[in-house]
Amino acid sequence: MTGFCLGCASNRRPVLMDGFIATCSAALAVRMQPSVQDYLFAAHSSVEPGHRHLLALLGQRPLLDLEMRLGEGTGVALSMKLVQSAVTAFTNMSTFSSAGVSGPTTSAECS
């Protein structure tokens, strides 16, 4: 998993980390190549005792905190939809000018 993080970063691909073991691997990758940190995203916060410490070490705030401990990529599976939704909103949302919005309204116009 450490090699996966290194490879993804070298190819400018993001890595969505799952639980404790995946985050350990990512932390090792960052130790080997600090620029890997720019490509890491924490899917969730595991209840495993050391996970929060590793997330803090990596400067990560998890997308979800559901008190999960199962592993098997459960946190990534759940948070992936959140990431996909964020990307869709970011890439497809209209700007004020493309939507024909003229500018900010005043409180008098809203009443």
- Is-catalytic flag, 72? yes
User: What DSSP assignment string belongs to 20-82?
Assistant: HHHHHHHHHHHHH-GGGGGGEEE-B--SSTTHHHHHHHTT---SB-------TTHHHHHHHHH
Q: Which of 48, 67, 72, 109 is catalytic?
A: 72
Catalytic residues: 72
